[in-house]
Chain A
Amino acid sequence: MLRHIVRRLLLGIPTLLAVFTVIFILVRVAPGDPAVAALGDYASAEAVEARRQRLGLDQPLPVQYLTFLGDLARGDLGRSLISERPIGEQILFVLPYTLELTLAAILFGLVLGVPVGVVTAIRQNKPIDYMGRIFSLLGLSLPAFYLGILLIFFFAVQIDLFPSVGYAPFNEPARNLHYLVLPAVTLGLIETAYIARMTRSVMLTVLTDDYVRTARAKGLREWIVLLQHALRAALIPIISLVGIFAISLIGSSVLVEEVFARPGLGKLMIGATKQKDYTMLQSIMVIYALIIVIINIVVDIVYTAVDPRVRYS
């Protein structure tokens, strides 16, 4: 098992390298001089040149590329093109908020989505199934930011139950969680829709399998058949899909952070995009790539643990 994990981690390296290269190139093909973009069109030639030198933008591209990779290897994410503050510090500050939000949403989605999926599957084509499917379809079509605004409208404006926007730091846990509720529910409801829809279709397939019929035929109680036989088998595809959903969840978290004015990677990226802070953008993409590769590896490992058929040779 340990060997498998190590191997999986090593396999992630070429992928990351490819991703870093693409990010590096993409950011470099942007039209215009980033130093000019940072200082404005009316900056003096000397100021622009000084900024270029400080940021290493005067070096030839291959040198910049190697410096970029070398800095990354040492955990140095460089400095912001605009504020010249170290990027690593800013990312370390916002990262816990994004992780808190996405983990809460995944938990919410699993706790609500799997039961909804199971119930709609065993009551196929009954009213509860139709309700579940309409709910899923709405969840798949509703943009995260609009759902967030709807929740703000009902739970913060109409009845003053939760704060509409903002955040509280982690050293005030109660307030922090109070601020987390609406954003996490926004993201969690969308996650629920995905998980419920997929659980339903996996369960429907599993329920027609022979061994489920056998289990029923030998007189096992229905809930044992459902939970111990059907759901257990259904869990395997669910786990790998939850990983895929977690990645799309990261995309939606950008919007949720924007709607609720929460600090986070997404909010940081939006700011960097608007300011054309290319060094910041590049570093944020690196962090996203790392998170995505880690999610994939975790899914892979959990998958191996749950499904004894998967050999990790």
Chain B
Amino acid sequence: MDLAQLLDDKLICVCAGSGGVGKTTTSASIAIGMAARGKRVAVLTIDPAKRLADSLGLSELGTDLKEIDPKIFEPFGLEMTGELHAAMLDPKRTFDELIERYAPDHDTYERILDNRIYKELSNAVAGSQEYMAMEKLLELHELGDFDLLVLDTPPSRNALDFLDAPTRLARFIEGRSLRVFLAPGRFGLKLAGRSGSLLFSALKRITGIDLLKDLSEFFANFADMASGFSERAQRVDALLRGSESTFLLICSPEHEPADEAIFLRRKLHEQKLPFGGAIVNKVRRDYFRARKQLDDNLSEQLEARVMENYERQRLLGRRDAEGVERLEKSLGVENVIEVPLFSDDIHGAEGLVHMIDRLFA
């Protein structure tokens, strides 16, 4: 697979895969590699653990897009002819900006930002990251400042959570089914009909009256904005399905991450999302057909230990090679991009340049 060729006419590259396979580092390397090929690139991460900053050798990375100094890669022989920007997204702020955009008036905007439920949920809760990633992607895409946007997907419990995010965002905002029977009435809330009051008392028992009331207010405030969100969700959906987007699956040769990639491949197919290829990180050296004679200058005891270690490493390398073969077969691709296992995590400019050399080989 030729990464530069694949990404040449793409506007969006989504990197997906399970945790611990080097997704963030790979996203950063792809972005740098394309910037070195003259593109204006932005790489986005939603990672709460500051891994992109780590990857780029920065101590901090803000929520606003920041241009990365091309000089940090120069000592290692990489010349940045394009531009590289990076940001770590902040769910709360992205949500606030969205509300500002869609609120019909300033009062509604302030009322929502003041709502207790909004305050708690927009900030603290897992899952909001995925909504936001998609939102920011759309926003940047529509701004049109960049040739390529690279998205590092959040480390979800389920690596696919983010794919449903646009729809869930709309569903969350609309709260359609709840609004039907939580219409604010004279006594705070009223419910339609007999079954309505039964349901109401059941819900009240679970949640307590206050929570129901706050939820009701929350959704009432959103009522005028729901169509805006829903329409936006559809636009993100269309964007990701389009030919200007591509999904790269990132994994390692180990069983579980590889299985996750195979599973993701199937999901992409089901959801008609464009699959671009797979990158397999942390592949151990395969000593198949390597010269194994040792010169005769080691003690017998040391030679035995060298051979014992070799046998172990050889088996590990074989296992990884089989893992890659299995992956290629299951994904239905001719070849995946293999990145070798380095002696430590890739971090800092030098390591990234090594990785880029492998990715764009």
Note whether A and B form a binding pair: no
The residues of A with any CB-CB pair to B shorter than 8 Å are none
The residues of B with any CB-CB pair to A shorter than 8 Å are none
